[in-house]
Chains A and B, each alone.
Chain A
Amino acid sequence: MLKVEEHQRDLAETAEEDETGGVPWFQRFMERIGALWTLGVLVVLIVAFGTVAPTLYTKAAWLATASFAVEYLILAIGQTFVIVTAGIDLADGATLGFSAMAGSLLMANMLGSHDSGGLTVVAGILLMLATGAGIGLLNGLIITKMKLPPFIVTLGTLTAVTGATDLLNNGTEITNLPGFVTTLGTASVISGWLPVPVLVALALALVFGLVLTRTRFGLRTYAIGSNEVAARRAGIDVDRHLVRVYMISGLLAGVAGLMVTANFSSASPIAGANDELYAIAAVVIGGASIFGGRGTIFGTVIGTAIIALLTTGLVLANVQPFWQQVAIGAVVVGAVAVDRVRTVVGTD
């Protein structure tokens, strides 16, 4: 009995030692503040750009930044789920373009034949969501059934879907859309401060943030990314779960396609091109590990905000626009480097 008590005390002591002993203070500090450091970077950027270009603190600048962020945030939410499972979805930008074109083509044709506005809009939106989810389903099935790496599979679908998008309308854009689509892009609440697309993106972030942190689905998403063998041994149907995660990413690309179409009142075959790079950057800046198991929607929102702010901030500060991508690239590498320092302490 005495020995057992000793054993308990030893274990408790070891636990404390593990949390503090031998870890440099800087790393302990970084670990403790967690993803909050990205929020700090965002605040610093807001203050810095605001000092250089006070026009940043105007309604127009806010609306430009927020509207710019919408498509990337919606894609990045799905990308967060995928990256947390240790996967990647390179096809989400292409999926955005394809689903927007497919839905718009249907709407344009229905408008031409019989002009029942409501049905046309509903059918078009549903087709966008369905094609998005469908491409996600295809990605998920190829990855899990053929056991191929997500990077290669989604690189393939990225290329194929991009080509298919041009096939839809011979590479030209679609402009004759129902009036509701335009309204969706221009309507706003709170006396013009909150455009509907921004509201939709934030609502999606809230809902999927709760799904990831508070539900069984979210917990299993982390588990698969953290240790797939452990997840399988725990009786989780890993393949089915992964298919669903890629479907979420595709579905959200469809939603983003709708928002982009609404924003421009037209569907362009080049919409969404290269968006996946910004979406992945936002997720990584937000503190997700590309090796899976870690990442939050909150971090992704901050990461997207940093990218959007860099873009409008540099424009307002009259910096040559070519510097935008240089700056974003530097922030991505910086974020990964900081993450490395933050988690290098015997965590894996």
Chain B
Amino acid sequence: MDSGEQSGAAASPGLEQPVLEVRGVSKRYGSVHALRDINFEIHRNEVVGLVGDNGAGKSTLVNILSGALHPTSGQILVDGAPVSFKSATDARDVGIETVYQDLALAPDLSIWANLFLGRERTVSGPLGWLGWLDRRAMMSRSVEDLDRTKIHIASVSSRVGRLSGGQRQAVAVGRAVAWGSRVLLLDEPTAALGVEQQAKVGDLIRTVSGHGIPVLLISHNLPQVYELCDRVVVLFHGRVIAELRPKETDLDSIVSWITGSAMLAGKTAR
């Protein structure tokens, strides 16, 4: 198809099926094309960056992938099977988990309660029918889940409101992983964080992708995208203008694709 895609396949050996495939997705609002014919794939163990200037179509694409918007045309495939979402719950059901910038955590609830919110475990028997919580099971499962994602927090009974920004991010990501997601979408995970916390989130992303869960990282933090991602998809005016591999390019050239100056200079990356 194009050079970027081919080298992408080379990185994940064999003809492994992409976990997430976006095929010819377009989104139109009347005569305005928010997205035009978007194509890209994400494979196991990959961290893929999605970058672009404001208005390039990033949030539209994220909203389509997370089920909040319908594409006008095109297809989304998860593990090779076409999927269609009516709501964010549908996207989650097929394993696309989005961690939003606001994290969607309840600060007054403990870590374990946040991890299990919406799919609480109840005890068996008559008390269970009344919704009696199995707190012990949820707490010990929370410890396991957070361990698996290498997130270490003093106690799963701590209130989320007491955690630092990086730790909250870790809890939100830990929840997404625990909910059995197949692809993790991180929407500006470091926007509100200090430098040190940003580095921790970077480590967290590596750990998650090390577990075989591919990550789509949507971020304005280009140095971090450059450092963490195996591939970077650049959106420009609603199109995928380039797919770059940080190993084969430099930060400046990613910037030049985002601003569109690379295109004007007649370079090709697709």
Contacts and interface: CB of A to CB of B under 8 A. Distances in A.
A8 interface: yes
B141 interface: no
B227 interface: no
A18 B162 CA distance: 7
B158 A15 contact: yes
A114 interface: no
Given A15-B163, A347-B162, A227 B107 contact: yes
A222 B109 contact: yes
A226 interface: yes
Interface in A226-280: 226-227, 229-231, 233-236
Contact of A216 (B100, B133, B204): B133
Given A8-B150, A12-B152, A19 B162 contact: yes
A292 B92 CA distance: 28
Interface string A157-182: 00000000000000000000000000
B94 interface: no
Main secondary structure of the interface of A (DSSP, over half): helix
B104 interface: yes
A4 interface: yes
Interface string A325-348: 000000000000000000000111
A14 interface: yes
Interface in B119-175: 119-120, 122, 130-133, 135, 150-154, 158-159, 161-164, 166-167, 170
B102 interface: yes
Interface string A190-234: 000000000000000000000000111101101101110111011
B153 A12 contact: yes
B88 interface: yes
Contacts of A8: 150, 152
Contacts of A231: 106, 117-118
Given A219-B120, A223-B117, A233 B154 contact: no
B200 A10 contact: yes
Contacts of B150: 4, 7-8
B154 A16 contact: yes
B152 A347 contact: no
A270 B77 CA distance: 65
Interface residues of B, number: 43
A14 B113 CA distance: 21
B117 A234 contact: yes
Given A4-B150, A223-B113, A227-B104, A15 B167 contact: yes
B259 interface: no
A130 B113 CA distance: 33
Contacts of A229: 102, 104
A234 B104 contact: yes
A55 to B, nearest CB: 42
Contacts of A214: 132-133, 135
A28 B133 CA distance: 30
B108 interface: yes
Interface string B163-194: 11011001000000000000000000000000
A229 B158 CA distance: 21
B240 to A, nearest CB: 28
Nearest to A347: B161
B254 interface: no
A236 B106 CA distance: 13
Given A11-B167, A223-B113, A230 B203 contact: no
A18 B163 contact: yes
A330 B70 CA distance: 55
Given A19-B162, A214-B132, A230-B104, A7 B203 contact: yes
Contacts of A222: 106, 108-109, 113
B207 interface: yes
Contacts of A18: 162-164, 167
A219 B109 contact: yes
Given A227-B104, A227-B107, 14 more contacts: A7-B150, A11-B153, A11-B170, A12-B153, A14-B164, A14-B166, A15-B153, A220-B117, A223-B109, A229-B102, A231-B117, A234-B118, A293-B107, A348-B107
10 contacts: A215-B130, A226-B106, A227-B106, A230-B103, A230-B106, A233-B88, A234-B104, A347-B107, A347-B162, A348-B107
Interface of A: 3-4, 7-12, 14-16, 18-19, 214-217, 219-220, 222-223, 225-227, 229-231, 233-236, 292-294, 346-348
The 6 closest A-B pairs by CB, nearest first: A234-B118, A293-B108, A226-B106, A216-B131, A226-B108, A230-B104
